[in-house]
A = this chain, B = another copy of it.
Amino acid sequence: MKTRRSDRLVDMTRYLLERPRTLVSLTHFAEEYESAKSSISEDLTILKRTFRERGIGLLETIPGAAGGARFTPYMTKADAKEFVDSLVNAIDDETRVLPGGYVYLSDILGQPWFLQRIGRLIATQYLREPIDAVMTAATKGVPVAQAVAEQLNVPFVIVRNDTKVTEGPTMSVNYVTGQSQRLEKLELSRRSLPMGSRVLIVDDFMKAGGTIRGMASLVKEFEGQVVGAAVVAEGRVEHRVIDEYTSLIHVDTNKDDGIINVTSGNYADEIYAKFEEELESK
């Protein structure tokens, strides 16, 4: 039975939101709803307009019989500012300061609501770039990787300091930690990442950046390419061992008196500089 337009709009929205960055053919929708492709095209025009006006994401439509639609979620600059401000407020709390200048973030990184927005904001930077996989270091980075991977609709891989027996054959690199200059090892299961992948590295917290540098050298062992590196929070350090990264917030702690100072990270420049017009306003 032919499906009504109103029902199609609801179900197409759901279908596309569940499949970021995937080209869905007009034929698929036409068959699913037993409707003419011309009707489906009109539906897609409505979706495209609403997605743009509401700052939901980019809906690219390819016209013609072989055409289709591809949805790429993004976050507008205004929504990003509101979200990062809420993150700053949530974390700017002296009871979060832990020994060693670390900051308690586990509650934030255990809330689907925050994670979904963290993922969408980080993914926005790669709106026009193909990415094959997201990489992170166990264990605190895992929720961030999963959240970003969900928005990009690509697999995420977890590198570990201590590979469990359940991982199978691994590839490993040694790296020097950024601050304490210790020699550490990072391992990744051979079968978890295809050779030559374009990889986005993410983590929850970055101090000097040694772990990220270690992950980058692991990507090279897999003959891959590092597309970028993004962290939820960067700490204050004397010397950073990596140059290019995106951070949502900047955290400065004083371990002696437990004072914490939280501000926005560099995300506005890194993410929005190149999409100034496209994502400026709702």
Contact = CB atoms under 8 A, between A and B. Distances in A.
Contact of A112 (B99, B153, B158): B153
Contacts of A143: 142, 146
Interface in A141-160: 142-143, 146-147, 149-150, 153-158, 160
A18 B116 contact: yes
B104 A191 contact: yes
Contacts of A139: 138-139, 142, 158, 160
Copies in the complex: 2
Nearest to A152: B112
A63 interface: no
A103 B228 CA distance: 32
Interface string A40-67: 0000001101110110100000000000
Chain A interface SS verdict (over half): helix
A112 B160 CA distance: 20
A12 B85 CA distance: 25
A196 interface: no
A281 to B, nearest CB: 15
A183 interface: no
A140 B198 CA distance: 24
A33 B242 CA distance: 46
A165 B100 contact: yes
Interface in A8-28: 9-11, 13-14, 17-18
Interface in A104-160: 104, 106-107, 110-113, 115-116, 138-140, 142-143, 146-147, 149-150, 153-158, 160
Contacts of A168: 98, 104
A102 B165 CA distance: 8
Instruction: Output the residue of A111, A146, A191 with the most chain B CB within 10 A.
Output: A146
A231 to B, nearest CB: 14
A6 B7 contact: no
B7 A106 contact: no
A140 B116 CA distance: 20
Contacts of A138: 139
Nearest to A19: B113
A5 B6 contact: yes
Contact of A155 (B50, B111, B142, B156): B111
Contact of A104 (B11, B50, B113, B167): B167
B165 A98 contact: yes
Interface of A: 5-7, 9-11, 13-14, 17-18, 46-47, 49-51, 53-54, 56, 98-100, 102-104, 106-107, 110-113, 115-116, 138-140, 142-143, 146-147, 149-150, 153-158, 160, 164-168, 189, 191-192
Given A10-B51, A11-B54, 5 more contacts: A6-B9, A7-B46, A10-B50, A106-B192, A107-B155
